[in-house]
Every structure is written in C-alpha cells, then in structure tokens.
Chain A
C-alpha cells in the first residue's frame, strides 16, 4: 500500500456547508475504491502566492490517503470536473517517509555506537596489560 497526500484548494466564494460536502464527496470516492483516509487536515483560508482563476485566497485541504493508486486517478478525475476546486496536487509520501526513517535509524545507530566507546574508557588499561604480557613472553 502507498501513502498519498492529496492537497486541494477550494475557491474562497464557496460556503462552509458546501466545503464540507465537497470534502466528504472526495473522501467517499477514496473509501469506495477501497482506500483508507489516514488523515484529514483542513488548513483553512490562506492567501495564495499568485492568483488562480482570479482568486487571491483559497481554502486548503490536505487528505492523507492509503491506497493502491487507482483511487488517486479517480479522485483527480473528479476534482478536474468540480469548478469549486481551483487547484489540486497529489504527492506520494511513503517512500520519502521511509527514507526519513532510515536517516533517523542511522543517526540513532551512530549515537549508540559512539556512546559505549566513551563509557569503555575505564576498561582501557586492560589492553595495555595484555601488551605487557606479550612483551614478557618475548623476553622469555
């Protein structure tokens, strides 16, 4: 299963009730296709960095969807048709998150490897003792 982040921007002139039905509609499409909604994040009204369809503001909604990819195609097809959605962007995030986990694990491993070496310092003289024994053997 893959994790997708579907971001879409709803036109600022849509009413609150319509926004809710729109979000439900989109998430229903995903669940009907066998995907699960991992997270729904309503970022709210934001200023756009540049005008889209002559709008300067928009309601940002981020859906985190776990699925196969087929439902993403369906969602995007629907979003393209709906006029109230002025922009959408889908990003696959599972690989990036896995990579982030790998980095985190490697850092943890490095920290763990560094810690015992410093704590072993009290035991360091042991190595010197071994060397001395070897030298004595050589003399004999």
Chain B
C-alpha cells in the first residue's frame, strides 16, 4: 500500500497529474546580480536592452527586475528619451 502511494506521488511529480506543469526558471534582477547602484541615462546600449522594439519600457514581469531597480531604470529611460538617446516611440 505504501509503495502504491509512492508511485502515485511519483507520477504526479512527472507532470501527468495536471495542475502546475510549467515551472519556469526564476527570473532575477540583472542590476542586483551585477551590483549596479546607479543607472546612467546616457548608457544607450544598457538601456536599450530594457526597451523593446516599440520604444516602451519593458515591464517588471517580463524582465524580472526588482522594484527598486525598475524605478531607477524607468527614470533613466525617461531621461534618455529627453536627451534623444532613446526614442519616445517607434513604429
């Protein structure tokens, strides 16, 4: 009986039992990992990796950036736009 239970549990872990199947790798904040404390608005190459094609600011849920760094990043992107380093919009 105990072995039956174990089998049952084993199959669920294998992903056959439905429910949460896709366990995505946990996103991590790029700025925390690289220990960046100040985001410079003049660094076009770094900022453009957080600005998708349309010119919008990439949301946190996609990039995985932590809230502190996302706030700093958003400010930097907005400054960069005024300095013509980043576009306001592209189509």
Q: Are A104 and B84 in contact (CB under 8 A)?
A: no
Interchain pairs with CB closer than 8 A, number: 38
Complex interface bits, A81-117 against B, C-beta within 8 A gives 1, otherwise 0:
0000001010100001101110110010000000000
Give bound CA distance, A102 to B29, whole Å: 19
Interface positions, chain B 58-91, Cβ under 8 Å from A, are 79, 81-88
Q: Are A87 and B42 in contact (CB under 8 A)?
A: no
Q: Are A89 and B86 in contact (CB under 8 A)?
A: no
Q: Are A107 and B42 in contact (CB under 8 A)?
A: no
Check: B38 CB closer than 8 A to any chain A CB.
Answer: yes
Check: A9 CB closer than 8 A to any chain B CB.
Answer: yes
Interface of chain B, main secondary structure = loop
**Chain A residues near B42 (CB, 8 Å)?**
7, 43, 62
**Chain B residues near A7 (CB, 8 Å)?**
42, 83
Check: A52 CB closer than 8 A to any chain B CB.
Answer: yes
Q: A89-B79, A91-B79 known; A52 and B84 CB under 8 Å?
A: yes
Chain A: residues with Cβ within 8 Å of the partner, total of: 22
Interface of chain A, main secondary structure = strand
Give bound CA distance, A43 to B35, whole Å: 25
**Chain B residues near A62 (CB, 8 Å)?**
42
Q: Are A87 and B84 in contact (CB under 8 A)?
A: yes
**Chain B residues near A87 (CB, 8 Å)?**
82-84
Give bound CA distance, A9 to B83, whole Å: 8
> What 10 pairs between A and B have smallest CB-CB spacing?
A100-B37, A100-B38, A48-B84, A49-B87, A103-B37, A89-B83, A49-B84, A89-B82, A49-B86, A50-B87
Residue numbers of A with Cβ under 8 A of B are 7, 9, 43, 46, 48-50, 52, 58, 60, 62, 87, 89, 91, 96-97, 99-101, 103-104, 107
